[in-house]
Every structure is written in structure tokens, then in C-alpha cells.
Chain A
Amino acid sequence: MSKRRRASKVMRLWDWSVPPTGAHREVLSIVPEGWHDQPRATRKPPLLFVHGIAHGAWCWREHWMPAAAERDYPVFALSLRGHGDSGGRKRLGRTLLRHYVHDVMQTIAELPQPPVIVGHSMGALISQLVADRYQPRGLALLTPAPIQGAAYMLPTILRRRPLDAAKVVAGGTLPLRAEQLFVGLDQTTAARYVDRLGRESPWAQYELFVPHRIGPVRAPVLVVGTPDDRVVDVRAVEETARAYDVEPVWLPGIGHDLMLDAGWEKALGVLLDWVDERC
């Protein structure tokens, strides 16, 4: 009998014995008219957007959701617990990544058919953990937090931004500033987005630094990165792509928040063309 080579997909002891309790979930959606009446086999698959650290469903609603719906995609975005207009803010200090995975799974179970999961940053890591238990139609990872763990980034963060590092270690939310998230936005717009950022669970942030092992994913995978990302570096994107045996798609000139930054149309185009072709 072969020895177990990877983390167990089957034995989810903590989810069985200490299951996450539910929290109110904000789910934004746009379903193109007539989509429900089209035959299931040929209609466009739903897209489910999963946001990153301190963001919320709103970041997708700004540009991507209406634009994707224009191209006949039914689109859904949830706010993880403690984010956006979802509940669970008071318990944020006790929230783990597996609680976020629970929120995504609950949202998936309400969708009319298996979606293409689109995760951004920490949301990309959550999406991979979801794909470990649920076979999506496709898995798109945008400027992904590294599944191998971000521990290797620590020296750089400590050198460049020692105060930020200290804050995260002490349980504060990783400070995200306009110049880290955006490349081409005017100051007013950028400030408006940064204003909307909320708090993040300290435990979820710690979990970003440890490696996560998942089994093979039976779905097409897209990895998108940008050399101008000041949060997730090139190495993280490359390592994520290598884990799935795919070539990353690079979008120079766009910042970490590629659904909000100037040039979001191009990033969305890459995603939708990939869905059209591969999913």
C-alpha cells in the first residue's frame, strides 16, 4: 500500500468536529436576461469572484461584474465573513482561512451550476483550498498569495516596511496603500478605493505565511500576475503557476488590484477569453 503522499483530501477532522458556524453573507450578482432559459450545456458558466485581504464584493462590482455580464456571463461575488456587508465582523479576530472556505462553499451550493472560481490575492489561496474539495468548471488565480507560504517574503517586508511587518505580527491588518495597489489611477479614485478597505483576520494573515498542500485539481487553471505588483512578487506568481503546470500570463503596467486599476479591461479580457476557450 502506497504511503500517503500529500495532505488528506478525505479526512477533514477539524471541519467535522469543530465546524464553522454560518455568518450572514453578502452576495452580489448580475445574471444576464434569458440566461436561465438557455440550455445548460451551451450557456456561459457562472463566474464566482473571491476577493483578497481587507477587500469585499464591492471591488468586483465596480467594473468587472457589469462588464462580464455584458459578455453574457452570470457573475457572482461574495464578501467573506467580516468583510464588506457580510456579518461576522465581531468574530473576525477568531476567523481562520477555513471559515472563508466555508463561506465560498456555501455560496457555490446556491449557484445553479458549477462556476469558474476567480480568486484574487488571498482569495486566490482560498479558491485553491475550495478547489481541493470541489471540482469547479475552472480556477483563475489573479496575483495569487503563494500557496507555498509567504514566509520567504518576510525579510523583504522587514527591510522595506518594518513598521507594517510589526503591525501584522501584533495582529493588525496589513496596511495596503494606494501606491502598492494601483499603478495608473488618479489620486482621488485611488484614495476612494483605499478608504473602502476594511480589517483582516490576524489568523488568516498568519496562515498566508505557512505552506498549504492540496491534492490535484481537476479543472483548467489560469494564473495571472503583474511585474508591477507591490504586494505579491513575481516569484509567488511563478511558483503558483508551476504548481499547476501552466505558464503565467503577465500584465505589465497594472497594479496588484487588477480589477480596479487602470487597465482593468485588459485583465478582464484575458480572463474571459480564457474562460471562453478553456472552460
Chain B
Amino acid sequence: MEDRGAAWAVVGAGPHGLSALKNLLQLGLDADGFERDTDLGGNWNFHAENSRVYESTHLISTKPFTQFPDFPMPDSYPDYPSHWQVHRYFRAYAEHFGLFDHLHFNSEVVGITTADGDRWNVTVCNHESGEEITRQYAGVVIANGHNWWPKIPQYPGQDTFTGEIRHSAHYKSADVVRGKRVLVVGAGNTGCDVAVESAQNAKETYHSTRRGYYYNPKYAFGRPSDQTADLLLALRLPLGLRRVMFKTVLRLTVGDFEKFGLRKPDHEFFETHPIVNQQLVYYVSHGDIQPKPDIERFDGSMVHFADGTSVDIDLVVFCTGYLAHFPFLDDSFLNLEGDHPVLARQIFTPTTPTLVVSGLIQPDSGQWTIAHWQAMLIATYAAVRAQDSATAQRFYDAMVAETGVRFTGGTDYKDSTRHYYEIAHQEYLRAVEDDLQRLESMAPALAR
């Protein structure tokens, strides 16, 4: 078995894997990145088996906060770039920082087991040769994403349903809905996108949601609404006032959701992961999407809803989200609570100081600025560990003491699997920056 010495292994070449790899290398560490597909990009690598973007996917947050802070998206990109542009952007990032020399494609991590002294044996299966190779690493960064393993609900009679049932994981374009009577289940951002595409292409579209939601516009106060939200945060407006302002925008533009047959939200603004979709309400108001409550049961080709109504359906698209899934690792390392890991800073596993996770977050804003700073914290920690493991251990112990602390920005998220990893981006980043500064002050030699 090859011993890779002080090198770290990075599992996955999506945005979190790439930024972990880049920051480890930039801090002078050696690192190998493993990707099961033939190209990088993870979820954004459209043709990959586990990619969950569909043809029409665009970012729902705008460039400034979504991009890596040290590698901006080109000015030529629009406010809300498409998944094609995002993928090109990741390739440019990897090219610029020389990551291709350290990335192994067609290389699926199939096993991660402990070795002596907090080291790890990482077994990688090469998809071309079928060969399995095990190498030993000083540490492992898991960045395999949490939006690829479909969460499929079970309703009474579902097994005997005569129509087709499909999870959004396998929804790549509107071709599958054309001419059909479609039921879209779930009001996440995917659910709303699919409902809108279905409204444009299907014969009939029904949209079943658990509760009423706030459907946020993509622009508010003359600018992208996430930038407006960040401006209000920058001005340190209190949560209550921010809620009033955003609700006022909705009131002034769309009006009362209930008059379209949508349900009144049963929660406060910012208490669920934001839905940013301007078109859904439009199609509801045109009768092309018919809102429905929760499903009660399936019966033949009929779907019965909680309000006693029922409709004949050809295709059900479950846009019910994803669960984190780590098939290559024994669950005991991840401090599971039910079906999800509970970590410190949503990065450090409380079980082992050299096993960290990047990307187990769902911010109320863009993702990759946070990916960068998570990676920066991980890389700095790894660099300190390589020089002075006692100092690193002290830092790790301080982190682990805060296992499970959430960064909610004062809101109380609705209980749902989709909020396991929800974070208020500014509060979370402030915490990560404090950690970084603490770590740098413990190891001053590294600061320069």
C-alpha cells in the first residue's frame, strides 16, 4: 500500500472538493482529489450520473456572494448564470489554480478506514480498469455533497399507482412531462422550477405542497433580491424590520397569495429555506398550475389529497429533496443523529480530528463563498496539524466542544429534513472567520 505521508485526500470534485483541494495546495500541503465521474463539477456536471441539475437550471442566488471570493465569475455572466456557465466557471477555476494535476477522475472512493495515529486508508476504485487501490493519508476531506441521494416519500397505495413516479433526481428536461397530467410534489426551488416547466409543457399541472410558502421575487427594490437582503443585513436592520420589508414587497407586487388559491404561509419570512421563483405565482394565476395540499393516498391512477379532492394523474414528480449519504464510510465516524451527521461548525467530526466534511451546509444565500472559507479553515487547520499537532489538537478540542451549535441568524427553522444543514450565511461566516483568526493566532508562523 502506498503511504502518501502528510498528504490529504479529498472526496469529490464538486465546488467544495475543488476549493478544499485548492486551499490545501495553496497552503503548501500535498493533496489528491478523487472524482467518480470523468469530469469535475459534481452536481453541476450535467451529464454525470449523479448530477441533479436539469436543462433549465440557473443559480437562484446572484454572482457576488455565490462565486469563490478569490476567483470571480466573469462580468459577461448574467446575474443568475445557467448550470452550463457554472460548470465552465469551475473548470476555469481548476485550470487557473492548477488542480488538474492533483485530480483523479473515474476514481470512486469506495472505502475509508482508520489507520494508526488518526491516519486513514482510502480505497479508490478506478472505473476504467476496475482496479482498487488503497493509499494512506494524513487526513480526509469529505465533499461528496448532500444533494444527490433522493429522498422518496411513501404514501398509502403508492406501490399500486398505475401512473409513473419519478424523483426530480431523474428529471433532466421538460420532455418527460409533455402532454401529460402531472403532479409535482414539493415546493423547494426544484419543485417550483419543475411545476413552472410543467405548466409550460404538460397537459395539466398540479402542485402539492405541505404548507403555504413565500415565493420570493428574483428582483426587489430594483436589484437582485439576495443583494437587497444582504444590503439590509449590512445596514444591520433587525430581523423584524427585514421581514416587514420583504412582506411589503410581496404585498405590493403579487398581493395576497390566497386569492390565487395558494395557502397562507404558516410560518414567518426567513423560517424556511428561501424559495426564489417569480414564475410560479404567474402560472397559478393563469390556472396552468393548480395548487394542492398534501397527498393522502394513491388509488389506481387517482391521487387523493388531504382536502378530499382527487385527480387523475399520469406522472408524479417527487421534488422532495435529498439526504446526505456516505456509502464509503462507517456511519459511526459521523456522529449521526437519526439520519444526519451532527458536526462542529458543520465541518469537524467529533469522532476523529483528521476527518472533516465540507459542504454539509445549506445557506440562505449563495454557496461557494462559504465553500471557500470552509476550505480555508480546513486547510489552515491541516497546515497547523502538519507543523504542530499539539496546537492543532487544542483547536480541534475547542471546536468539538461546540458540536451541534447552529447558526440560524435568530430564526427558528421549520422542522424538516431540508433544514438539517440550513445556515444563516453571515452569522456562519463570522463564526468561521473567528475560528480562522483564533487558529492563526495559535500558530503565528503560518500567518505570513
Which residues of A are in contact with B by a Cβ distance under 8 Å?
A: 1-2, 4-5, 8-19, 21-23, 40, 102, 105-106, 109-114, 133-135, 216-218, 245
Stretch among B151-159, B245-253, B289-297, B427-435 lining the A interface: B427-435
- Measured in the bound complex, the distance between the Cα atoms of B93 and A134 in whole Å is 13
- Beyond A22-B76, A109-B71, A109-B74, whether A13 also contacts B437 by CB under 8 A is no
B-chain residues with CB within 8 Å of residue A4 when the two chains form the complex: 433-434, 437
Q: Does B430 contact A15, Cβ atoms closer than 8 Å? A: no
A-chain residues with CB within 8 Å of residue B231 when the two chains form the complex: 17-18
- Beyond A4-B434, A109-B74, A134-B70, whether A17 also contacts B96 by CB under 8 A is no
B175 within 8 A of A: no
A-chain residues with CB within 8 Å of residue B70 when the two chains form the complex: 105, 133-135
Of the candidates B62, B74, B98, B429, the one whose C-beta lies within 8 Å of that of A40 is B98
A-chain residues with CB within 8 Å of residue B227 when the two chains form the complex: 16-19
- Measured in the bound complex, the distance between the Cα atoms of B432 and A123 in whole Å is 31
Chain B 42-87 residues near chain A, CB threshold 8 A: 62-65, 69-76
A-chain residues with CB within 8 Å of residue B241 when the two chains form the complex: none
B-chain residues with CB within 8 Å of residue A133 when the two chains form the complex: 69-70
- Measured in the bound complex, the distance between the Cα atoms of B376 and A133 in whole Å is 12
- Measured in the bound complex, the distance between the Cα atoms of B64 and A15 in whole Å is 7
- Measured in the bound complex, the distance between the Cα atoms of B430 and A218 in whole Å is 21
B411 within 8 A of A: no
- Beyond A10-B429, A17-B230, whether A114 also contacts B447 by CB under 8 A is no
- Measured in the bound complex, the distance between the Cα atoms of B234 and A16 in whole Å is 9
B286 within 8 A of A: no
Q: Does B95 contact A12, Cβ atoms closer than 8 Å? A: no
| Whole-angstrom distance between the Cβ of B132 and the nearest chain A Cβ | 30
Instruction: Flag B407-448 by CB within 8 Å of A: 1 or 0 each.
Output: 000000000000000000010011011101110110000011
| Whole-angstrom distance between the Cβ of A141 and the nearest chain B Cβ | 16
Further pairs besides A4-B433, A17-B230, A113-B96: 11, Cβ < 8 Å: A8-B433, A13-B233, A15-B64, A16-B65, A16-B369, A17-B227, A17-B228, A109-B92, A113-B98, A133-B70, A135-B26
Q: Does A102 contact B72, Cβ atoms closer than 8 Å? A: yes
Of the candidates A2, A12, A13, A19, the one whose C-beta lies within 8 Å of that of B441 is A2
- Interchain Cβ contacts under 8 Å between A and B, 21 examples: A5-B437, A9-B433, A10-B432, A10-B433, A15-B64, A16-B65, A18-B231, A19-B63, A21-B75, A22-B76, A23-B75, A40-B98, A109-B73, A109-B74, A110-B74, A133-B69, A133-B70, A134-B71, A135-B70, A216-B448, A245-B448
A-chain residues with CB within 8 Å of residue B432 when the two chains form the complex: 10
B-chain residues with CB within 8 Å of residue A245 when the two chains form the complex: 448
B373 within 8 A of A: yes
Q: Does A106 contact B437, Cβ atoms closer than 8 Å? A: no
Q: Does A105 contact B430, Cβ atoms closer than 8 Å? A: no
- Beyond A2-B437, A10-B432, A17-B228, whether A106 also contacts B74 by CB under 8 A is yes
| Whole-angstrom distance between the Cβ of A6 and the nearest chain B Cβ | 8
- Measured in the bound complex, the distance between the Cα atoms of B64 and A102 in whole Å is 11
Of the candidates A1, A40, A106, the one whose C-beta lies within 8 Å of that of B101 is A40
Chain B 264-312 residues near chain A, CB threshold 8 A: none
Of the candidates A9, A105, A216, A217, the one whose C-beta lies within 8 Å of that of B72 is A105
- Measured in the bound complex, the distance between the Cα atoms of B74 and A23 in whole Å is 11
- Measured in the bound complex, the distance between the Cα atoms of B98 and A135 in whole Å is 14
| Whole-angstrom distance between the Cβ of A240 and the nearest chain B Cβ | 16
Of the candidates B73, B76, B448, the one whose C-beta lies within 8 Å of that of A218 is B448
- Measured in the bound complex, the distance between the Cα atoms of B437 and A8 in whole Å is 10
- Measured in the bound complex, the distance between the Cα atoms of B433 and A12 in whole Å is 12
B-chain residues with CB within 8 Å of residue A111 when the two chains form the complex: 96
B97 within 8 A of A: yes
- Measured in the bound complex, the distance between the Cα atoms of B27 and A135 in whole Å is 10
- Measured in the bound complex, the distance between the Cα atoms of B64 and A14 in whole Å is 10
| Whole-angstrom distance between the Cβ of B421 and the nearest chain A Cβ | 20
Give the 7 A-B residue pairs with the shortest CB-CB distance, closest first: A22-B75, A17-B231, A13-B234, A17-B230, A19-B64, A10-B433, A134-B70
Instruction: Flag B8-34 by CB within 8 Å of A: 1 or 0 each.
Output: 000000000000000000110000000
- Measured in the bound complex, the distance between the Cα atoms of B99 and A40 in whole Å is 11
A-chain residues with CB within 8 Å of residue B228 when the two chains form the complex: 17
B-chain residues with CB within 8 Å of residue A15 when the two chains form the complex: 64
| Whole-angstrom distance between the Cβ of B148 and the nearest chain A Cβ | 28
| Whole-angstrom distance between the Cβ of B405 and the nearest chain A Cβ | 12
- Measured in the bound complex, the distance between the Cα atoms of B434 and A4 in whole Å is 7
Q: Does B72 contact A109, Cβ atoms closer than 8 Å? A: yes
- Measured in the bound complex, the distance between the Cα atoms of B26 and A217 in whole Å is 12
Q: Does B433 contact A11, Cβ atoms closer than 8 Å? A: yes
- Measured in the bound complex, the distance between the Cα atoms of B95 and A145 in whole Å is 33
Residue of A whose beta carbon sits closest to that of B89: A109
Q: Does B233 contact A112, Cβ atoms closer than 8 Å? A: no
- Measured in the bound complex, the distance between the Cα atoms of B73 and A15 in whole Å is 13
Chain B 173-228 residues near chain A, CB threshold 8 A: 227-228
User: In the complex, which of the residues B70, B73, B430, B434 has the most CB atoms of chain A within 10 Å of its own CB atom?
Assistant: B70
User: In the complex, which of the residues B64, B92, B231, B434 has the most CB atoms of chain A within 10 Å of its own CB atom?
Assistant: B64
Q: Does B72 contact A2, Cβ atoms closer than 8 Å? A: no
- Measured in the bound complex, the distance between the Cα atoms of B429 and A10 in whole Å is 7
- Beyond A10-B433, A13-B234, whether A112 also contacts B448 by CB under 8 A is no
| Whole-angstrom distance between the Cβ of B112 and the nearest chain A Cβ | 30
Residue of A whose beta carbon sits closest to that of B433: A10
- Measured in the bound complex, the distance between the Cα atoms of B62 and A135 in whole Å is 24
A-chain residues with CB within 8 Å of residue B92 when the two chains form the complex: 109
Residue of A whose beta carbon sits closest to that of B79: A19
A-chain residues with CB within 8 Å of residue B96 when the two chains form the complex: 109, 111-114
Q: Does B234 contact A17, Cβ atoms closer than 8 Å? A: yes
User: In the complex, which of the residues A8, A9, A19, A216 has the most CB atoms of chain B within 10 Å of its own CB atom?
Assistant: A19
- Measured in the bound complex, the distance between the Cα atoms of B69 and A15 in whole Å is 10
B-chain residues with CB within 8 Å of residue A8 when the two chains form the complex: 433
Residue of B whose beta carbon sits closest to that of A15: B64
Residue of B whose beta carbon sits closest to that of A245: B448
Residue of B whose beta carbon sits closest to that of A111: B96
